[in-house]
Structure 1
Amino acid sequence: MHNDGKVVPLHKAATDQANHSPLARLPVILLQVRDKAAQQLRHGLQELFDNADDTLFEMADRARNDVEQNIFFEAMRDLRLKRKNIERGFLEQFFDAFVGLTQYDPTHNALPHALMYDEFAPRSDDMERSVAVETMVGRVLKRDGFALDQLTARLNALLGNPLDDQHNPLGPAMLCEFFLQAGRNLGVEIKVKLILLKLFERYVLADTEQLYAEANQLLLATGVLPELKPAPARRAIDRAIANVSSEESDDTPPVDESVQEVFAALQQLLAHVRGSVAPTLESSAAAQPISTRDLLRLLSHLQQYVPALAAQDDFDLRNQLEQLLTRVSVRSGKSRIVGDADEDVINLIAMVFDCILEDRNVPDSLKALIARLQIPMLKVAVLDKSFFSRSTHPARRLLNEIAEAAMGWGDCDGEARDSLYLRIEQVVQRLLTDFVDDPAIFSELLADFLAFTSDQRRRSELLEQRLRDAEEGRAKTELARRRVERALNQALLGKTLPPSVVTFVQDAWSKVLLLTCLKHGDQSAEWQADVHTMEQLIWSVQRHDDAESSLRLLALVPGLLKSLRDGLTSSAFDPFATSEFFSELEGLHVRVLERSDPADQASPMVEVSQQIILQTADEGSAALTSVHLPRDAVGLRQVEQLRLGSWVAFQEDDDHSLRCKLAAIIEATGKYVFVDRTGMKVLERSRVTLALEFERGAVRTLDDTLLFDRALESVLGNLRRLNRAK
């Protein structure tokens, strides 16, 4: 299994190789940068493949002939079959690139293959691909080059290596390289590859602003080049609404054309569901749409009753609006309806919230709070259409940050409602109470919430790091214990010895060997000396009939006794037990020198015929399953896809599940350690046991990608299918 965790493979430590592992030298903060970026990149790739099918289908529909159409249909089939492999290959190369940062050699800084011609590809195809990649990379650098330069500078300062943007694992050139390499086995023509590259730019490279901003912020928070000024806002749309880290002017910002284009495309998809918000009033007069300002007044009126309404399972925003419109129509004597654009926003927000509230990844206790945010989110979407096109919109970010912070929630009732629950409840109540028509409140609440969660995250990360250190220590001790067991069994098995010597070796000298192995390793001179002392002790109490053996024993005993005493002293062994054993050992040596018959010995001899198993303080780590699974077992594949930071849910019974995060993978012992959202250890599993639980459905992986974005994409996918069906 590909190792990308923050825990060093400890079986290498036992052979004194862990200190040379590149991953062992990566700072913890760099691993956090990597994992945070991997989460966004994984989400982008999922969006890419979710949309690739529709794009290729549309291309096939517009094909000029059957041959061209078949190209796109075959590409769709090939992509479906290889999607998971491409996603996995991309992320594996991404993780490997971070490991390679410790080995980066500027004297061998060849361009990534994505920026070089492929000598095995047809020249025209190779050139088209290279031009496309260079254009994509150029657009990212022009747009977000400033933030990338800062990130590269911080990586240089952190690692002490002269890295450049082209070889930064988060740079566009390397990201394109990962994608091309991961998809090299796709059997598609160049026109399909160019389409996939465009989708890669749209769904992965389009969000490099957020990618670089979060990476820079993580490094800045740990004091890496704090003097660098933040990167300027990327788009004009970022000036359309107050942001967390920038001051806004009072002037009305210009409308961004790209926002209008995105919303126009959404309206085409939503055209088939219009008419769901209409008053139940018969009128001969033509229907008159209410203004957006009047719609906001109606929503503000509803907003006052959200706490009571949200407690009801049958609360339907569109139905509530219909009732209000009916009352307005009766009062005015005219049939009043909502305008097309506003109704499209209402329908889209309602469907997104329906999707969120049905999402199994969202804790039930959080759904009740999110349901109360529907009207504030609808109002901000009515006011600012960039809400749908900009993932960094403060209102969207606030919802996503709330969902991310609460990913590890279980049942939060009564006294169990902790500080995080109360903070989210305060955010919701503040929006319901204070938000009228000024979206700046979302920026204010987002800044406060990020400050709160940042403090909580630091505390949990500190606990997680302590846990990893402790688990590493336990694993190292377990490896040393197994090594000592092998040494004892090699020396004792098959031998006939005095019981006191067998007990001494197993109970006392094993501790000396354990300490030596932990401190110096089993390849050290100290280890070899202690093992040799044990072998000499065993030899010295066995009967030997030749005169040479007696002379050897006489010469051996003084040094043997000194080595035994020194070893026992270093392990702080009980001095009274030590004195008693040495007295008995002296008698054993005398009888050996006198060559007395074993039958005349005061102490009987015993044959060591069973394997020696040393006791361990951590009985849980010693428990190993005897079940063996085939390498291609579904459960094992699911386990292999887990990364540090992955959230999972263990089903404890029919009504309760435990949500926890993978905090450590101890490969030496095959142990997976999970923590709750505060960083406290809640359980551990062996690799096989975890695989078996996956197979029987007792555990499932939680999707921790951006909640609103995930729900929006799901709704849009449903709308596209609905439109194609019609």
Structure 2
Amino acid sequence: MTSDTPDNAIAPFASSGQPHNGKPSILDNIRSRSIETLSTLVSTLFEQIDDTFFELADSAHNNNEQNVYFESMRDIRLQRKRVEHSFFASLELDFRNISVTAVDNTSNTLDDALELLDKEDVEIDVAISSMVSRARCEFPTLLLQINTRFSEFLKPISVQEDNNPLDPQQLVRHFVAACDHFQIGLQSRLIFLKQFDQLVLRHYEQVLLDTNQILIAAGILPNLRAIIRRTPSQIKQNNAKYAQKDKISQQQHANNNSASFGNNGNNAFGTLQSLLTATRNLQEPSVYIDSHLPSANQQEIFSFLDNIQDTATTTFSSAGDNSAIAALNVGLNLSNLLKQQKDNQRKINEVDTDIISIVDMIFEFILTQNLPPAMALLLGKLQIPVLKAAIKDKAFFNTNQHPARRLLNLIGHVCLGWDHNTTPETDKLYLQVEAVVSHILKNYSGDNAIFKDAEQQLLHHVKQEEHRSQAMEKRTIATEEGKAKTEQAKLLITQLVRDRIQGKELPPVVIAFLKTPWQKLLLRALLKEGKSSYVWRSTLQVADDLIWSVQPQKNEASHKRWLKIIPVLLGDIKTGLETIAYKPSDTDKMMSHLWKIHSQMLTHKGTDNPLRTIKVDLTDQQPAQPANAKIEARKAELKQTVINDLLHDVSSLKTGTWFNFIESDKKALRCKLTTKIRATDSYVFVNRFGAKTKQLTREELAFALHDKQVTVLNSGPIIDRALEVIITRLKSSLP
């Protein structure tokens, strides 16, 4: 695109004292080169967006959704030229106005208006904030160099993030504004912006490199260090300016997941390096990093690390808790060793310094995960070997398939179910981890294959234990589900018998028979055969027939039926008692009583009941679940909406999740949720061996989680989690 910037727009730079040598002005050169590169990137975006919407339309769930994607694709094609023209016109205007000192109230106006924005505006604003933040973290050094060189070139004007035409904030906002030409919905707009982020912003490093190179060629701070430190006033100014906006953006981002953009984790080390460089801009220079001494080679660094390892081994051998391990700060120890060198002094180059810092932070994270002290000691001993492995192969940070990383993740997995109550000296798995760690400390010579061999050796033992644990866990689940099924069956049978005898006039022997031995037979039939079986139905029918048989018969038909079923009924009763192994003497006694009362019924000629009966009244004997006083008290303290949310969260828990229980003696117990018993609405937990350790109702677990008596353990790979936390922490430390 040809620039139409008038000559007087760059007049303020003519007297800046910078050499032009008859060539186009420096800013014209930067502007033209930047627009040329960005034009190529934006063209790629428009060329590939068709494929994106075609794929979405192809996988659409219905015709309406498919039509939305096709219409969006059509409108983007039609408006392409207008969007490109608007975007680059805004960029050129920024270059014209870079020399104008003015108070920019745009950000404040946007911040003040955020609460008034509709849902679409909020989601777009969240997307903008996300893209800008990520780009600034991706290229912090290049952007700071450009700001500094522009400020030097345009004195007394200070060029910062808000008025640098090439800052991600300006590029993103201009592009979003240009996209107003589109007549497409929010979802399609967010998809398009995501593609802009991936195809333009993440590849505009060349624009920044070219800009710096042009300024260097013009003699503007050619020796500017790669690390540029901001003054405290700049930091304070930036913090105050963005604190409120970041807070609002984070809140909106949490409530608008559809506008979030995924992180690219393929180059974690590159991301970490950029963040560490940016954070060092805010700090004083380190003696052993920033000195002009020659850099130590890998062999020299490893020699220093061996010295630290020897000192740490003495500390580890006498340590009894995590605090001793947390004191192992390799970066600090290495700095002290370097300062002590009188002859042949060395410094650590920036890349190795970053690796040392990252590994320090990884182990700092690991040792804050409430690990059992014995396991924490073993992990702490691996810090130096792992650091050496990372220095030799930076893939440690970029792939979870690195041998050293796989080993640490495996030990972290082992720690998950290894609680503070385990005795290390007698635990086979602990002894195996200890043997693996000792082998690495003794034999590691730079070959990362030792980590792979150690992982395979440990994995063999872990799988053996898990195989035994799974078998035990299956038995535990079967036992607990069987208990629950039995309890539910007992409640059902009790209720069925109650319904049949409540309010009736029955002989005491019949009541006793139905409430005791025959309930056992009903339970056996229900559990063994099921409710739909003939055995269950016929056993229940015996109870109904017995109750009917001791009632006065009002007519001849009833009397004939009575005469027909009594022999069969009494025979079925005797067979049933024998089936449940009822005591023979008690069986004879029961049958004698039943024959006696039925003989009385047979010889009686009237319509009244000749038997001695009592009226069954079980009103005050309704079966009730015993109330849990603590649970009832907690219910009274919390609002029902809070309780409902807690119960919903507990219902969403997945089996296999590990928990940390704080016992009454303050000791921690680690358990895994193995099954949910629907019949009793309870949750069963097992230890790492598969044996049952806890069983809580849904309400009990909900309130325990709310009161922090129980916490959910993160079972993800420990190094992956450490790197994620480190990146988040470094980003949050930037102004």
TM-score (norm 2): 0.60
Amino acid of the residue matched to residue 121 of structure 1?
Answer: V
* CA distance 1:494–1:653, shift in 2 (3 Å): same
Code of the residue aligned with 1:317 in structure 2: it is: V
Q: CA deviation at 1:648?
A: 0.8
Displacement of 1:569: 2.6
What is aligned with 2:343? 331
Secondary structure at the counterpart of residue 121 of structure 1: helix
The separation in 1 between residues aligned to 2:708 and 2:688, in whole angstroms, is: 22
Q: 1:376 aligns with which of 373, 385, 388?
A: 385
Equivalent position amino acid for 2:343 in 1? R
Trace 1:64-213 onto structure 2 (pairs within 5 A).
113=60, 118-125=65-72, 188-193=186-191
Match of residue 471, structure 2, among 454, 462, 480: 462
Give me the whole-angstrom Cα distance separating, in 1, the residues matched to 2:629 and 2:602.
45
State whether residues 522 and 539 of structure 2, in contact with CA within 8 Å, keep that contact through their aligned partners in structure 1: yes
The answer on 1:425 being equivalent to 2:431 is no
- C-alpha change, 1:476 and 1:276, in structure 2 (3 Å) is farther
> Using the alignment, how far apart are the partners of 1:113 and 1:323 within structure 2?
61
Aligned partner of residue 295 in structure 2, secondary structure: strand
1:385 matched to 2:388: no
**Which consecutive unaligned segments of at least 5 residues does structure 2 have?**
1-37, 39-56, 77-184, 200-263
**Distance (Å, rounded) in 1 between the aligned partners of 2:618 and 2:665:** 49
Q: Distance in 2 between matches of 1:572 and 1:194?
A: 76
Task: Say yes or no: does 1:348 pair with 2:364.
Answer: no
| 1:501 partner SS | helix
Do the aligned residues in 2 keep the contact of 1:365 with 1:410 (CA within 8 Å)?
no
| CA drift at 1:687 | 1.4
* Cα deviation 1:493-550 (Å, max 9, x = unaligned): 1112122211111111111111221233223333222222111111222344656544
Among candidates 676, 688, 697, match of residue 677 of structure 1: 688
Which residue identity lines up with residue 347 of structure 2 in the other structure? I
Deviation per CA, 1:289-340: give whole Å up to 9, x if none: 2112210121123223332234335332222212221232x133x4x22111
Cα distance between partner residues in 1 of 2:711 and 2:645: 13
Asked if structure 2 preserves the Cα contact closer than 8 Å seen for 1:635 and 1:691, the reply is yes
Q: Note if contact 1:277-1:318 (Cα within 8 Å) is conserved in structure 2.
A: no
Provide the C-alpha distance between the structure 2 equivalents of 1:711 and 1:261, rounded to a whole number of angstroms: 15
Cα contact 2:404–2:452 (8 A) shared by 1: yes
The CA RMSD measured in Å over matched residues stands at 3.9
The DSSP-based 3-state class of the residue aligned with 2:672 is: strand
Deviation at residue 606 of structure 1 after TM alignment = 4.5
Query: Using the alignment, how far apart are the partners of 2:515 and 2:267 within structure 1?
Result: 77
Q: How many residues align?
A: 494
Instruction: Give the equivalent residue in structure 2 for 1:715.
Output: 726
The one of 288, 304, 308 equivalent to 2:314 is 308
Equivalent residue number for residue 589 of structure 2: 580
Deviates more, 1:530-539 or 1:564-573: 564-573
Which amino acid in 2 is paired with 1:374?
A: Q
**Residue 317 of structure 1 pairs with residue 330 of structure 2:** yes
CA distance in 1: counterparts of 2:470 and 2:62, whole angstroms: 38
Q: How does 1:698-713 map to 2 (within 5 A)?
A: 698-713=709-724
Question: Which is further off, 463-472 or 271-280?
Answer: 271-280
Whether the 8 Å CA contact 1:635–1:693 is kept in 2: the answer is no
Identify unmatched segments of 5+ residues in structure 1.
1-63, 65-109, 130-186, 202-257
CA offset digits 1:427-480 (Å, max 9, x no partner)? 222222211311111111011111111111111111111222222322332332
Q: In the alignment, is the contact (CA less than 8 A) between 1:352 and 1:708 conserved in 2? A: yes
Partner of 1:458, secondary structure, is helix
Cα distance in 2 for residues equivalent to 1:675 and 1:405? 15
One-letter code aligned to 1:524: S
- Which of 413, 416, 432 does residue 404 from structure 1 map onto? 413
Distance in 1 separating the partners of 2:311 and 2:672: 37
Shift of 1:120: 4.5
Equivalents in 2 of 1:612, 1:635: separation in Å?
33
Q: Deviations over 1:51-82 (max 9, x none)?
A: xxxxxxxxxxxxx9xxxxxxxxxxxxxxxxxx
CA change 1:668–1:261 in 2 (3 A) is: closer
Residue of structure 2 equivalent to 1:269: 275
Cα gap change, 1:112 to 1:318, in 2 (>3 Å): same
Letter of the structure 2 residue corresponding to residue 302 of structure 1:
I
CA separation of 1:194/1:381 partners in 2, compared to 1, >3 Å: closer, same or farther? farther
Give the secondary structure class of the aligned counterpart of 1:554. Answer: helix
Kindly report which structure 2 residues correspond to 1:565-576, keeping only aligned pairs within 5 A, or say none. 565-576=574-585
Tell whether 2:649 aligns with 1:638. yes
Aligned partners of 2:69 and 2:188 also within 8 Å: no
- Deviations for 1:637-663, whole angstroms, at most 9, x for unmatched residues? 331231110001111136312110011
Q: Which residue of 2 aligns with 1:297?
A: 303
Q: Secondary structure at the match of 2:328?
A: coil
SS of aligned partner of 1:669 = coil
CA distance in 2, matches of 1:341, 1:634: 48
Distance verdict in 2 for CA 1:128–1:621, change over 3 Å: farther
Residues 360-399 of structure 1: per-residue CA shift (max 9 Å, x gap): 4x44443222222211111111000111101111111110
Residue identity opposite 1:712 in structure 2: L
Instruction: Measure, in 1, the Cα distance between the counterparts of 2:464 and 2:66.
Output: 52
**Residue deviations 1:139-176, cap 9 Å, x none?**
xxxxxxxxxxxxxxxxxxxxxxxxxxxxxxxxxxxxxx
Greater RCO, CA 8 A, separation 6+ = 1
1-side partners of 2:594 and 2:629: how far apart? 37
Return the offset for 1:287: 2.3
Separation (CA, whole Å) in 1 of partners of 2:650 and 2:550: 51
Partner-residue secondary structure (3-state), 2:416: coil
Q: Is the 8 A contact 1:649 1:700 kept in 2?
A: yes
Q: Deviations over 1:626-679 (max 9, x none)?
A: 797669623213312311100011111363121100111121221211000111
Structure 1's 715 and 415: CA in aligned 2 closer, same or farther, altered over 3 A?
closer
Question: Who is 1:34 aligned against?
Answer: none
CA contact (8 A) 1:292 1:342 kept: no
In structure 2, what is the Cα distance between the partners aligned to 1:299 and 1:305?
10
Q: Which moved more, 1:400-409 or 1:526-535?
A: 526-535
Does structure 1 retain, via aligned residues, the 8 Å contact 2:500–2:544? yes
Report deviation, 1:558: 0.9
Of 609, 615, 618, 2:618 maps to 609
The 1:425–1:443 alpha-carbon spacing in structure 2 relative to 1, beyond 3 Å, is same
Scaled by the length of structure 1, the TM-score of the pair is: 0.61
Please give the alpha-carbon distance, in whole angstroms, between the structure 1 residues aligned to 2:654 and 2:564. Answer: 59
Q: Do the aligned residues in 1 keep the contact of 2:597 with 2:611 (CA within 8 Å)?
A: no
1:288 match: 294
Query: Please, which moves more after superposition, 475-484 or 604-613?
Result: 604-613
Q: Partners in 2 of 1:490 and 1:631 — Cα distance? A: 38
Residue matched to 2:535: 526
Q: How far apart, CA to CA, are the structure 2 residues paired with 1:711 and 1:593?
A: 85
C-alpha distance in 2 between matches for 1:425 and 1:198: 51
Which range moved further: 709-718 or 587-596?
587-596
Secondary structure in structure 2 of the residue aligned to 1:517: helix
Give distance in 2, aligned partners of 1:414 and 1:541: 66
1:128 deviates by 12
Query: Equivalents in 2 of 1:564, 1:259: separation in Å?
Result: 73
8 Å contact kept, 1:352–1:712: yes
Higher mean C-alpha displacement, 708-717 vs 684-693: 684-693
Conserved 8 A contact 1:353-1:374: yes
Amino acid in the other structure paired with 1:189: Q
Give the letter aligned to residue 302 of structure 2.
L
Q: Deviations over 1:195-216 (max 9, x none)?
A: 6699999xxxxxxxxxxxxxxx
Residue identity opposite 1:695 in structure 2 = H
CA distance in 2, matches of 1:486, 1:421: 52
CA–CA separation in structure 2 for the residues paired with 1:458 and 1:117: 50
